[in-house]
Amino acid sequence: MTGYLFVYGSLRKGHAPPAIAETADKLEFVAEAFVYGKIYNLGNYLGLILGGEEKIFGQILELPDDEEILQNLDEYEGFAPNDPQESLYVRKETNAYFDEKHLKVWIYEYNQDLPKT
């Protein structure tokens, strides 16, 4: 499956931890971009909820035509396609914006209860 992925945390180019670095290195940088949502600092990682008017900045990366790449990313993000309700994140499609353009991308949206503030 080819396509695009919007990343806003540890999957950004040059930031991938060893557990996912080999997979992340296979993604090609496309552009700096933003999506609309809200980001939460959950301690060891970030969680994004889509929607609203706040711009969340990150990167668009191109996915190679290799199903194993997407499976590795899903596993890293805690997304089980056969059990999305119990997944830490869910992979969704949304628009990412850059240079007065937009592109349909995959994004991992946080899928658990948010901490009370």
Confidence check: pLDDT of 116 > 90: no
Q: What is the DSSP string of 13-81?
A: TT---HHHHHHHTTSEEEEEEEEEEEEEE-SSSEEEEEEEEEEEEEEEEEEPS-HHHHHHHHHHTT--T
Q: What is the pLDDT of residue 44?
A: 85
Confidence check: pLDDT of 28 > 80: yes
Q: What is the pLDDT of residue 1?
A: 55
Q: What is the pLDDT of residue 104?
A: 97
Domain ranges in the chain are 3-110
Q: Which CATH number fits domain 3-110: 3.40.50.620, 3.90.550.10, 3.10.490.10, 3.40.50.300?
A: 3.10.490.10
Q: What is the pLDDT of residue 111?
A: 96
